[in-house]
């Protein structure tokens, strides 16, 4: 949760009613943090080129998007969080988190 006074600016996504693109937040350091919201429908390419500090995937991501997020985090030694219920069973992504899981290349 963020205090309202810390929110500096909110930009809207073009073509989607009420959809947020970015949120600018005053950081305790005095700088500005930028939250960027994406959907899986935008594909892996929408993440390319950005060095990220934190990624939070709130549903099971396709492996291509998960892998792209990992690459983007390497620049800043960032962290990835993924919160989902494995409704699709033992997918490649789920197996990555299990002892002895198999990752298909």
Query: Is residue 83 in some structural domain?
Result: yes
Q: Which of 18, 42, 45, 59 is catalytic?
A: 59
- pLDDT > 60? residue 105: no
**Pairing between strand 20-26 and 7-12?**
antiparallel
Question: Do residues 46 and 32 both lie within one domain?
Answer: no
Q: How far apart are CA 31 and CA 25, in angstroms?
A: 9
Higher pLDDT, 34 or 42: 34
pLDDT digits (tens, 9 = 90+) for 37-95: 988 888 888 878 778 899 999 999 999 999 999 999 998 899 999 999 999 998 989 99
How many CB atoms neighbour CB 6 within 10 A? 13
What is the reported pLDDT for 71? Answer: 92
Judgement on whether residues 45 and 92 belong to the same structural domain of the protein: yes
What residues have CB less than 8 Å from 88, skipping those under 6 apart?
Answer: 60, 94
Q: Give residue-wise pLDDT tens across range 11-24.
A: 998 878 888 999 99
Q: Answer yes or no: is 105 within a domain.
A: no
pTM recorded for the entire structure: 0.79
Does 59 participate in catalysis according to the annotation?
Answer: yes
Q: CA-to-CA distance for 38 and 19, rounded, in angstroms?
A: 10
Q: Do 54 and 92 share a domain, yes or no?
A: yes
Tell me whether residue 104 is in a domain. no
Same domain? 92 vs 45: yes
Q: What is the 3-state secondary structure (H, E, C) of 40-88?
A: HHHCHHHHCCCCCCEEEECCCCCHHHHHHHHHHHHCCCCEEEECCCCCC
Distance spanning both ends of the chain, measured CA to CA = 38
> Does one domain contain both 60 and 93?
yes
* pLDDT band of 35, cuts 50, 70, 90: very high
Residue 3: domain span: 1-37
């Amino acid at each position: 949760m963020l205090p309202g006074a810390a929110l500096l600016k909110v930009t809207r996504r073009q073509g989607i009613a009420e959809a947020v693109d970015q949120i600018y937040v005053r950081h305790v350091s005095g700088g500005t943090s930028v939250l960027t919201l994406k959907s899986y429908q935008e594909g892996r390419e929408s993440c390319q080129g950005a060095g990220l500090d934190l990624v939070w995937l709130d549903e099971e991501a396709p492996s291509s998007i998960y892998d792209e997020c990992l690459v983007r985090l390497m620049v800043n030694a960032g962290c990835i969080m993924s919160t989902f219920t494995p409704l699709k069973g033992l997918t490649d992504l789920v197996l990555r988190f299990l002892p002895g899981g198999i990752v298909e290349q």
